[in-house]
Amino acid sequence: MRRGLLTFVLVNLLILSFIIRSVSTLLSLLVEDAAADAIQLLELPPPNSNLIETRPQIIPKLIHQTYKNETTPEAWVEAQKSCIDLHPDYEYILWTNEKSRDFISAEYPWFLDTFDGYKYPIQRADSIRYFVLAHYGGTYIDLDDGCNRRLDPLLAYPAWVRRTAPTGISNDAMGSVPKHPFFLRTIELLQQYDRSWLLPYVTVMYTTGPLFLSVIWKEYMPTKPSESARVRILMQDEYNRFSWSFFTGNSWHGEDARFIFWLGQHWVFLTTIGFALAGFVGICLWWIYGRVVLLGTHYRYRYIKLPSISLSCPSSSPTRRARRMMPTLLRRVSLEEDEELAGVTKTSYELGRHDD
């Protein structure tokens, strides 16, 4: 019985380590603080300062935003205007549904089926931003993010994304030079990540959204990109909280808050799913355990118990004596018969174990 328990624990550990291995990137995201690539406040000139920015600005002066059509909803008009007004010398492109599709179909036809096939419009809004950054370079800003200061200092990095609390990065404000390896990799992997995860929120997050981007980023970092291929991280304080931050608003209806609201609305459903999943995994483990024990039993009796049978019943029966003299090959064939014997011994073996 003790050996059985040990096997069960070992099998569980094995399965657990397999699961952990397959979600290791997600787990490692939880402890990633992005400190190594953070854009330090000291690197940035204070807003409205007369200090001359000496670093070359390599990201093109181009702002991308997305919306389904040209009519910006009332709530976002001000935010959109703040970005346009602060950057009169920047080119501005609003990627509407129609414009996005035309662009993909003209420049990235291999992606058009995936793009059209996305179930949720937000997946198209997510993916188009990676394509335009990889293609033209520039700065992408969500339509509900207002601009608090000019983007110029951020143009000095080959690419930047922004940190989200408590973990990972977001895709609501990002900048890049054209053909940056990180965004090339991102658009290349979109198809591979395109699958349904049952729940709409998870599907969106993990096929095109911030979770998808975070995983790609986490796997991109260990490739030790050269300085020109690095992805720098705009931390929370430089993102939107303070007078020196680049953007405004948005924090309370950002992805994290949305996720928490969503959890709140669906907790009964999620709990049910959780229990069902745990039950299912439990049953699977029990089934696998049963199989393994069975296998072990067969193995033991075939190769360990059998010789002891012939030892404990020394040549008493004429058939057995005859069989021992059979060539090995034939003996194997007659093992089936032995199995019946093994079954008998197994019962007495277990009975014997009960006593101690």
Q: Which residues pair with 248 in a beta bridge?
A: 146
* Nearer to ligand NAG among residue 121 and residue 296 (C-beta): 121
DSSP state of 53: -
- Residue range at the interface with ligand NAG (CB under 6 A); choices 35-43, 64-72, 146-154, 337-345: 64-72
Task: Give the SS3 label for residue 170.
Answer: strand
Taking CB under 6 A as the criterion, the residue among 17, 69, 265, 272 binding ligand NAG is 69
Compose the 218-257 pattern: x for residues touching ligand NAG by CB under 6 A, - for all others.
Answer: ----------------------------------------
- Cβ contact 194:207 at 8 Å: yes
Angle made by CA atoms 55, 57, 63, in degrees to the nearest 5 = 145
- In 60-168, beta strands by DSSP E: 62-66, 91-95, 138-141, 146-147, 159-163
Select from 92, 90, 95, 93 the least CA-distant residue to 61: 90
Cα–Cα distance measured from residue 230 to residue 350, given in angstroms and rounded to the nearest whole number? 64
* Nearer to ligand NAG among residue 39 and residue 128 (C-beta): 128
* Nearer to ligand NAG among residue 69 and residue 312 (C-beta): 69
* Nearer to ligand NAG among residue 69 and residue 265 (C-beta): 69
* Nearer to ligand NAG among residue 94 and residue 309 (C-beta): 94
Q: Which residues pair with 169 in a beta bridge?
A: 163
Q: How far is the CB of 75 from ligand NAG (least distance, A)?
A: 13
* Nearer to ligand NAG among residue 74 and residue 336 (C-beta): 74
Q: How far is the CB of 132 from ligand NAG (least distance, A)?
A: 21
Taking CB under 6 A as the criterion, the residue among 70, 85, 227, 356 binding ligand NAG is 70
- Cβ contact 146:248 at 8 Å: yes
- Residue range at the interface with ligand NAG (CB under 6 A); choices 66-74, 237-245, 288-296, 301-309: 66-74
- Residue range at the interface with ligand NAG (CB under 6 A); choices 21-29, 68-76, 111-119, 247-255: 68-76
Q: Which amino acid appears at position 17 of this protein?
A: S
Q: Name the one residue in this structure whose structure tokens are 């330090």.
A: 40
Touching ligand NAG, residues 159-178 (CB under 6 A):
none
Cα–Cα distance measured from residue 171 to residue 312, given in angstroms and rounded to the nearest whole number? 73
Q: Which residues pair with 63 in a beta bridge?
A: 92, 139
Q: How far is the CB of 70 from ligand NAG (least distance, A)?
A: 5
Cα–Cα distance measured from residue 350 to residue 348, given in angstroms and rounded to the nearest whole number? 5
Q: How far is the CB of 99 from ligand NAG (least distance, A)?
A: 12
| 74 binds ligand NAG, rule: CB under 6 A | no
Compose the 263-302 pattern: x for residues touching ligand NAG by CB under 6 A, - for all others.
Answer: ----------------------------------------
* Nearer to ligand NAG among residue 93 and residue 221 (C-beta): 93
Cα–Cα distance measured from residue 187 to residue 183, given in angstroms and rounded to the nearest whole number? 6
* Nearer to ligand NAG among residue 109 and residue 121 (C-beta): 121
* Nearer to ligand NAG among residue 68 and residue 135 (C-beta): 68
- Cβ contact 217:169 at 8 Å: yes
Taking CB under 6 A as the criterion, the residue among 22, 48, 50, 71 binding ligand NAG is 71
Q: Name the one residue in this structure whose structure tokens are 């993916």.
A: 127
Contacts of 141 (CB under 8 A, 6+ apart): 63, 64, 65, 83, 147, 172, 173, 247
Burial of 261 (0-12, 13-18, 19+ CB in 10 A): exposed
Contact residues: ligand NAG, CB under 6 A: 69-71
